[in-house]
Structure 1
Amino acid sequence: MKNAVLSVGTSFPDFNKKAVVSIEKGKEFEDISLEAVKATGKWMVMFWWPKDFTFVCPTEIAEFNKHAEDFADRDAILIGASTDSEFVHAAWRRDHEDLKGLKFPMLADTSKSLAAELGILEENEKVAYRATFIVDPQGIVRWTSVYDLSVGRNVKEVLRVLDALQTDELCPCNWQKGEATLEVA
């Protein structure tokens, strides 16, 4: 039976996974855990893609990388993830020009356990859907977005939603950072 996608207001599952953080020999891998992320007091934006060495995925990863400083400026830790191994991630980073200089880790969920807990594991191929989770500093999911395998997401929309969530106010449709929020009369 398939798990439902983890929704707003629920605790993000605990995890401790290997991640690729560099292509420098001997410094490629680190363990990343929810506990360590929460200890920073920052927000977490975790985005998932189906498979390494594919076509749509590197366009998204490169776009997230272009905006890595924007996430950092918002006190958000950016983490990319898929069900591929850390070794496949490392090979892909070394092989693909747009991925060599990534400023965020590539999490390896080889057991597929985190993807399953999040409810984003595609049933037939057992790969992750294109999902994005914005998690507050307490580890609570504040936004979830899931796309079909063939459709890339909009990174600027992820930033817009993060901005809106961080106001802790009522934000109207299409609200952008710097615009007025809604006042309750």
Structure 2
Amino acid sequence: MGIIGSTLKPFKATAFQAGKDFFDVTDADVKGNWAVFFFYPADFTFVCPTELEDLNNQYAGLKDMGVEVYAVSTDTHFSHKAWHDTSDKIGKIQYPFLGDQLHTLSNNFGVLREEMGLADRATFVVDPDGVIQIMEITCEGVGRNAGELVRKIKAAQYVRNNPGQVCPAAWEEGADTLAPSLDLVGKI
């Protein structure tokens, strides 16, 4: 898909966030911080609320890591508020929901299912320079694991802060990393 390493494209979306008035979020607002764009197919559905609640359970830790989370669907910000006000799971969520009814974000990230007008179940992590570092897309019936997302973000932050180091499979914070060199070729 060629999206890893690409730069966040311009966008403007209206957000709903618990306890706040509706507000606009743009690509300029995102740059300078780590961000997660957490696309899901639609409000008032089945797998989506379980994923969104799971992500909310990690939200405080993500904020401590300097990461903002944006839930995104092709629904409006009004629909997001109505879902928040009527669902026990969604009513707990503290991070912002972006309305993408014009499909700008879904098209920018290449996850719009045009025949349905819905976004795929997809996650993108954007670094402070606006560069996409991580992506995950799953089929409709497979929910994501927020704990694994946190692990991947920690690895991406480590690599950014430690040039010349890489994180091996299943790396956890504090574990050994690798320094790629000719000396390691064929020895791992």
Q: TM-score, normalised by structure 1?
A: 0.90
1:54 to 26, 41, 45: 45
Q: 2:41, 2:56 → 1: CA distance?
A: 18
- The one-letter code matched in structure 1 to 2:107 is A
Match of 2:162 in 1: none
Alignment of 1:13-92 (within 5 A): 13-22=9-18, 24=19, 27-38=20-31, 41-92=32-83
Q: Which residue of 2 aligns with 1:11?
A: 7
The within-5 A match list for 1:155-174 is: 155-168=146-159, 169-174=165-170
Q: Is the 8 A contact 1:61 1:99 kept in 2?
A: yes
Contact between 1:20 and 1:90, CA under 8 Å: does it hold in 2?
A: yes
Q: Matched residues in 2 for 1:118 and 1:153: separation?
A: 18
- The Cα shift of 1:33 comes to 1.1
Alpha-carbon distance between aligned partners in 2 of 1:101 and 1:30, rounded to the nearest angstrom? 19
**Which runs of structure 1 show a deviation greater than 3 angstroms over 4 or more consecutive aligned residues?**
none
How much has 1:6 moved relative to structure 2? 5.8
Question: Please, what is the CA RMSD of the aligned residues?
Answer: 1.3
- Offset, 1:82: 0.4
Amino acid in structure 2 at the alignment position of 1:171: C
Instruction: Give how far 1:126 is off.
Output: 1.7
Identity of aligned residues (%): 35
The aligned residue for residue 111 of structure 1 is 102
SS at match of 1:97: coil
Q: Which runs of 5+ in 2 are unaligned?
A: 160-164, 184-188
- Taking the aligned partners of 1:64 and 1:149, their CA distance within structure 2 comes to 17
Structure-2 separation of matches of 1:159 and 1:142: 13
Residue 59 of structure 1 deviates from its aligned partner by 0.2
Aligned residue for 1:84, secondary structure, equals: coil
The answer on whether the counterparts of 2:39 and 2:122 sit within 8 Å (CA) in structure 1 is yes
Find the residue that maps to 1:65 and give its secondary structure. Answer: helix
Number of residue-to-residue matches in the alignment: 176
- Which of the pair has more CA radius of gyration? 2
* Cα distance per residue 1:10-37 (max 9 Å; x no partner): 0111111001012x5xx44111111012
Distance 1:126 1:56, change over 3 A: same
TM-score by length of 2: 0.89
Deviation by residue 1:70-126 (Cα, 9 ceiling, x = unmatched) = 111211111111000111100000000111232210000010122012110113212
User: Secondary structure of 2:128's partner?
Assistant: coil
**In 1, distance between residues paired with 2:134 and 2:179?**
22
What SS does the aligned partner of 2:92 have?
coil
Measure, in 2, the Cα distance between the counterparts of 1:182 and 1:51.
Answer: 40
CA contact (8 A) 1:170 1:182 kept: yes
